[in-house]
C-alpha cells in the first residue's frame, strides 16, 4: 500500500434527488480540491432510507443520473469515488449497491449488500430490507495505484467472515458506507469498527449520512476512520462533516509487524476459500 488521502462526505440525504445530487457534486469537488484521492459517500446517499422509496429512487447500471454524474466527476476530477450505495434496479430486483469509479470514470467494482438489515427491537426500531431488496452474493475488492481495498455495506460489518475473505485477497483497508440508527449506533458502531480493524489489521473507513431528526429513519452519523492498530484516526459527530484523512502505509506495516496475527492464522483448521477476486 502507498499513502492515500481519503475524503469523507457525511451529509443529510435530500428528499429532492436532483437537489441532493447537485450538492453532492460540490462536496466531492471540494474534497478533491482539498487533496482527496479517493472520496467515499454514505449508504443510500441519493435516497431517503425508507424501504417504500427504494423502487422510486432506483437506477439501472449505465442509465441512472446518479451514476452518470459520479462517472463524469471521477473523470473530470481525476479521483476514485466509492459511491456509498444507491438502490440498484436489475430487471425485477432491487439491490443496495455500492459502485466504485476509477479516474477514467469507469466502474471497477460494485458491491451488492450481502446481509440485509431485518431487525425488530420492540419499542425502538423495526426495519425489513428483505421486503424490498435482494441480497448480493459476492465479496468485493478492487485495486488502485495506492493499494487493494474492499467494500461492504452497513449490516455486513457485523459478519467478520467477509472481512477475512477480503484479507485473503490482500486488502489494506475496507470502505464501509453505512447508516446505523439511534439504537444500534450508540450501542455498537465504534466497537464493531475498531474490532474489524484490529482483527484484520487494516484501515476501516466508515461513512454515514449526517443525523436528520426529521427523517423517518434517523442515522447515527459519527463517520469514522480507524487505523490497523484500532486507533480512531478521525471521527465526525452527528452533524454534516467533510474531511480528508491520510491512510499511511507505515501504520499498516507497523501494526502487522508488531503483532503478526495474520501470519499466525491456522489455515489448516479454517479451510477458508477466496470468493470473487475482483479486478
Residue 56 CB neighbours (<10 A): 11
Our answer to whether residue 154 is catalytic in this structure is yes
Our answer to whether residue 43 is catalytic in this structure is yes
Beta bridge partners of 59: 88
Our answer to whether residue 254 is catalytic in this structure is no
* Residue 140 to residue 152: CA distance in whole angstroms: 7
Beta bridge partners of 177: 207
Maximum distance among all alpha carbons in the chain? 54
Beta strands across the sheet bearing 38-40:
107-112, 93-101, 80-90, 38-40, 4-10, 241-247
The secondary structure of the chain in percent helix, strand, coil, rounded to multiples of 5, reads: 30, 30, 40
Give the active site residue among 9, 47, 79, 154.
154
Instruction: Please report, to the nearest 10 degrees, the dihedral formed by the alpha carbons of residues 37, 41, 46, 50 taken in order.
Output: 170
Give the active site residue among 9, 12, 113, 129.
113
Give the active site residue among 43, 59, 88, 129.
43
The residues annotated as belonging to the active site are 43, 113, 154
Amino acid at each position: 500500500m502507498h499513502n492515500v488521502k481519503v475524503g469523507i462526505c457525511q451529509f443529510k440525504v435530500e428528499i429532492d434527488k436532483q437537489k441532493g445530487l447537485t450538492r453532492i457534486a460540490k462536496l466531492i469537488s471540494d474534497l478533491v480540491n482539498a487533496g482527496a484521492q479517493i472520496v467515499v459517500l454514505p449508504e443510500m446517499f441519493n435516497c431517503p432510507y425508507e424501504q417504500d422509496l427504494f423502487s422510486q429512487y432506483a437506477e439501472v447500471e449505465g442509465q441512472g443520473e446518479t451514476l452518470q454524474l459520479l462517472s463524469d466527476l471521477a473523470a473530470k476530477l481525476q479521483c476514485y469515488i466509492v459511491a456509498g450505495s444507491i438502490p440498484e434496479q436489475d430487471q425485477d430486483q432491487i439491490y443496495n449497491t455500492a459502485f466504485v469509479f476509477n479516474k477514467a470514470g469507469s466502474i471497477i467494482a460494485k458491491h451488492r449488500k450481502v446481509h440485509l438489515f431485518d431487525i425488530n427491537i420492540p419499542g425502538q426500531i423495526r426495519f425489513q430490507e428483505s421486503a424490498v431488496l435482494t441480497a448480493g452474493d459476492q465479496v468485493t475488492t478492487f485495486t488502485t495505484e495506492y493499494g487493494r481495498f474492499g467494500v461492504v455495506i452497513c449490516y455486513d460489518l457485523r459478519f467478520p467472515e467477509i472481512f477475512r475473505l477480503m484479507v485473503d485477497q490482500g486488502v489494506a483497508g475496507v470502505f464501509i458506507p453505512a447508516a446505523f440508527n439511534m439504537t444500534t449506533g450508540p450501542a455498537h458502531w465504534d466497537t464493531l469498527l475498531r474490532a474489524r480493524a484490529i482483527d484484520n489489521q487494516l484501515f476501516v473507513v466508515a461513512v454515514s449520512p449526517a443525523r436528520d431528526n426529521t427523517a423517518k429513519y434517523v442515522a447515527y452519523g459519527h463517520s469514522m476512520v480507524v487505523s490497523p492498530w484500532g486507533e480512531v484516526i478521525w471521527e465526525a459527530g452527528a452533524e454534516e462533516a467533510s474531511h480528508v484523512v491520510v491512510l499511511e502505509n507505515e501504520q499498516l506495516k507497523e501494526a502487522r509487524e508488531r503483532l503478526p496475527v495474520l501470519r499466525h492464522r491456522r489455515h489448516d483448521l479454517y479451510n477458508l476459500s477466496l470468493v470473487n477476486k475482483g479486478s
